Amino acid sequence: MQFVSQAFVVFLPLAFVAYWVAGRLGGGATAQNVVLIAASYAFYAYWDVRLLWLLAAISVIGFVSGLLLERDSGPATRKAVLVTTLLLSLGILGFFKYFGFFLDSLTSALQGVGFSTPSYALNILLPLGLSFYTFQMLTYPLDVYRRQAHATRDAIAFLAFASFFAQLTAGPIGRARELLPQYQARRLFDDARARDGLRQVLWGLVKKVLVADNLAPLVDHAYGGYQSMHSLDLLVIAVFFAVQLYADFSGYSDMAIGLGKLFGLRLPTNFAYPYFSRSTAEFWRRWHMSFSFWIRDYVYIPLGGSRVRTPRRVFNVLVSFLCVGIWHGADWTFVVWGLLNGLYQIPGILLGRTTPRDTIAHGRLIPSLREAGAMLGTFLLAVLAWVFFRADSLAQAAGVLGRFFTSPGGGLETDYVPYLALCAALLVGEWLQREQPYTLRQLRRLPVPVRWASYCALLLTLLVLGAHGASPFVYVQF
């Protein structure tokens, strides 16, 4: 089931009413969690009921491992439990997501050196959201092992945490130590929070339906026929994809976080206006933040982080970004994309530059020339890397990049102008509200008539100009 679907329009009110009624009838947190689990499993079953066992298996592995790790056993036993948990969970993820890729790569490599090997075609169905809920679950045994969290015996609360439908298929990836306490306590309906959640859902819809879904057909068509396109048009298409991906994924995150507010839950922030970053390091502090921080805390820091000599730090960064690339997909394009983003970090490491932590042009409408230049340079580096992310193969990525520099001539396709205006409108709107958690947040301060006129105008725009059902959320395939 997608957020942007008729089925979800029916599903959400039913789940919402049942959830809050259960809480009011005296069932407390347990009753609310039971409703949430039932709703979440129904949500996932709508995609493919055959794969419900995977969600249940990952959840059970996590819950049982927490209980075993909480026991006062020796370090060797605890480490064995953690390693077993990681092998089971990542083994399931690896089989469904990467087994076919590695088999194809091995076959190609053997054939390349003269061995005659049969080609196998495995049609392994990739479960939606598997990477997301697997990594969210892994935060639990990892934190219990580190003594940063206590194991829970409340299986109902844990299953609700592991399966909440809003973040099930594309995050944000929450930490058990931050989310589990919310599920263990009874949630009380907060009218102001619910209204804020609806505003954030509306903004997510605008980004997804109005921006991302209108850009997607242009990008798909261009990548299918890039051989006949000129440099300028291809560059514009690359920018379109950068905006499409951001609007699509951050739109999903806004909707998920907003839905969490409707159910009295605080989900982690996932985007903080990444295209206004002044360096690639800052970009990764603002893009898919829940996953970036997961890699930082569970891969980069355990490798030694930045508390090592420069060569080892570079190695740690490259390994971390290799993991980022592999997590995103079973294809060499994602491996190259991840390593390229890792290479982007090396100049800053060698020069000893620190990552900016303030909002760009804080308190000012216009950035300085230096800030604008840094922001533009970072955006162009991201656009270049996104070519590998979008391409169907390394050959296609190389072909697109090659035509960037070898196919001058021809003016800008006039059909692209309205879409450039659409991208500019999104970025300008977000620039003006970049110090807010999301762009529509400030509408709450406007007079009621103006506020509702704004809501109606946005909804009418979605109905008239939105590309309804044009494409699924990009990140559900990861």
pLDDT in tens, 383-415: 999 999 999 999 999 999 998 888 776 677 788
CA angle 327, 330, 335 (to 5 degrees): 70
* In the chain, domain spans: 6-112+123-189, 192-278+356-477
Q: How confident is the model at residue 121 (pLDDT cuts 50, 70, 90)?
A: very low
Instruction: Report the range of poorest mean pLDDT among 22-26, 62-66, 99-103, 425-429.
Output: 99-103
Instruction: Report the range of poorest mean pLDDT among 152-166, 217-231, 286-300.
Output: 217-231
Q: What's the rounded Cα separation, in Å, for the pair 43 and 166?
A: 9
Mean pLDDT of 280-306: 95
Q: Which of 150, 221, 288, 328 is catalytic?
A: 328
DSSP string, 262-310: HTT--PPP--S-GGG-SSHHHHHHHSSHHHHHHHIIIIITTTTTTSS-H
Buried (b) or exposed (e) across 128-140, using 16+ Cβ within 10 A?
bbbbbbbbbbbbb
* C-alpha to C-alpha distances, 314 to 294, 301, 344, 348, 350, nearest whole angstrom: 19, 13, 11, 10, 9
Q: How confident is the model at residue 150 (pLDDT cuts 50, 70, 90)?
A: very high
Whether 103 and 117 have beta carbons less than 8 Å apart is answered as no
Q: How confident is the model at residue 103 (pLDDT cuts 50, 70, 90)?
A: low
**Residue 28: both structure tokens together:** 């407390």
pLDDT for position 111: 60
Q: How confident is the model at residue 357 (pLDDT cuts 50, 70, 90)?
A: confident
pLDDT for position 124: 59
% of the chain surpassing 70 pLDDT:
93
DSSP string, 336-405: HHHHHHHHHHHHHHHHTPPPP-SPTTTT-SS--HHHHHHHHHHHHHHHHHHHHHH-SSHHHHHHHHHHHH
Q: Cβ–Cβ contacts within 10 Å for residue 287, how many?
A: 23
Respond yes or no: is residue 328 known to be catalytic. Answer: yes
Asked if residue 458 has pLDDT above 90, the reply is yes
pLDDT digits (tens, 9 = 90+) for 468-478: 665 778 877 66
Whether 256 and 166 have beta carbons less than 8 Å apart is answered as yes
pLDDT digits (tens, 9 = 90+) for 373-389: 999 999 999 999 999 99
330: left (phi over 0), alpha (psi -120 to 50) or beta: beta
pLDDT digits (tens, 9 = 90+) for 6-31: 899 999 999 999 999 998 887 789 99
Q: What's the rounded Cα separation, in Å, for the pair 121 and 215?
A: 33
% of the chain surpassing 90 pLDDT:
72
pLDDT for position 80: 94
Q: How confident is the model at residue 43 (pLDDT cuts 50, 70, 90)?
A: very high
pLDDT digits (tens, 9 = 90+) for 67-101: 999 987 788 999 999 999 999 999 998 888 877 66
Asked if residue 323 has pLDDT above 60, the reply is yes
Comparison of pLDDT for 100 and 42, the residue scoring more: 42
Asked if residue 122 has pLDDT above 80, the reply is no
Helix, strand, coil shares of the chain, percent, nearest 5, are 75, 0, 25
105-110: long-range contacts (C-beta < 8 A, 24 or more apart)? 105/332
Asked if residue 112 has pLDDT above 70, the reply is no
pLDDT for position 478: 67
Q: What's the rounded Cα separation, in Å, for the pair 140 and 322?
A: 23
Closest CA to 41 of 21, 58, 20: 58
DSSP string, 210-221: IIIHHHHHHHHH
Q: Over the chain, what is the mean pLDDT?
A: 90
Instruction: Report the range of poorest mean pLDDT among 62-76, 93-107, 414-428.
Output: 93-107
Note the residue count of the chain: 478
pLDDT for position 105: 60
In 178-237, the DSSP E strands lie at: none
Asked if residue 106 has pLDDT above 70, the reply is no
* C-alpha to C-alpha distances, 12 to 16, 17, 156, 179, 219, nearest whole angstrom: 6, 9, 21, 21, 32
pLDDT digits (tens, 9 = 90+) for 126-144: 678 889 999 999 999 999 9
